[in-house]
Amino acid sequence: MTQELLIPIYHLEHVHTIIAMARYRNLPIATISLIVLNVLIFVLGFVTDSHTQIIRDYGFIPDSIFNTDNSQTDYNIPTGHEAVGNSAYSTLVRLFSSMFIHVNIAHIAFNLLALAYIGGYAEKSIGSSKYVAIYFLSGIFAALFHGVIASYLLDSGQTLLIGASGAISGILGIAAAMGNRRAYYWLIFQIVFAFIGSVSSIPIAFTAHIGGFLAGVILTKFLVRREDSRRREPERMEEGGY
């Protein structure tokens, strides 16, 4: 009698374990990790009273690529033949690090709300590894896209660019490419908000939003088509008699 009672209890515990594992696997781990990382860096800056210094040292300067004479003068980027390597390295670091820096609570809250809003869907749609790759590539492309316009058209290439909005716009691009209309709504909201900010003298790089979104859409479509062609390759080989 005791053994008969223990058997269903064991199975019940086993079922609970399977359910818990399934829920864990369904969590958008990459999205959660990116949100936590952005929050930690933001909090670290204020706790150590180094927030302003972090922005200055790790924000991206468009002129450091597209108008080097101005950037070297105003930001003391090393000049001369011996410093070329260091300058290039600094620019690469800033392209990456600027994606994790935010100026205030409103800035980071707005960006991370967008990431939480659509990130889970995008990550599940294409997988975590592709999701992370598109996140960073979109962020870099967004900074460069903004940099070209800022340096050559708006003459504002010495203004530091910070924030995850370009990379997050790339995540919106993933969702849009996979057919989720909510991504377009959020992008429109971002652009409208950015336009209002520019009119009211709040510096918002809406060009980075657009650049990141375009990068996300293009990269997603490329990766999806590549994955589809890989899946069809065995079928083609069978049809061809290989």
Residues with catalytic roles = 165, 209
- Amino acid type, 36: V
- Maximum distance among all Cα pairs of the chain, rounded to whole angstroms: 87
Cβ of 194: how many Cβ atoms within 10 Å? 20
Cβ of 3: how many Cβ atoms within 10 Å? 6
Q: Side-chain half-sphere of 64: how many Cα atoms within 13 Å?
A: 25
d(CA 109, CA 120): 17
Alpha carbon distances (Å) from 234 to 38, 185, 221, 225, 229: 42, 39, 21, 15, 9
- Please calculate the CA angle 100-104-106 and round it to the nearest 5 degrees: 105
Q: How far is CA 184 from the centre of its chain?
A: 17
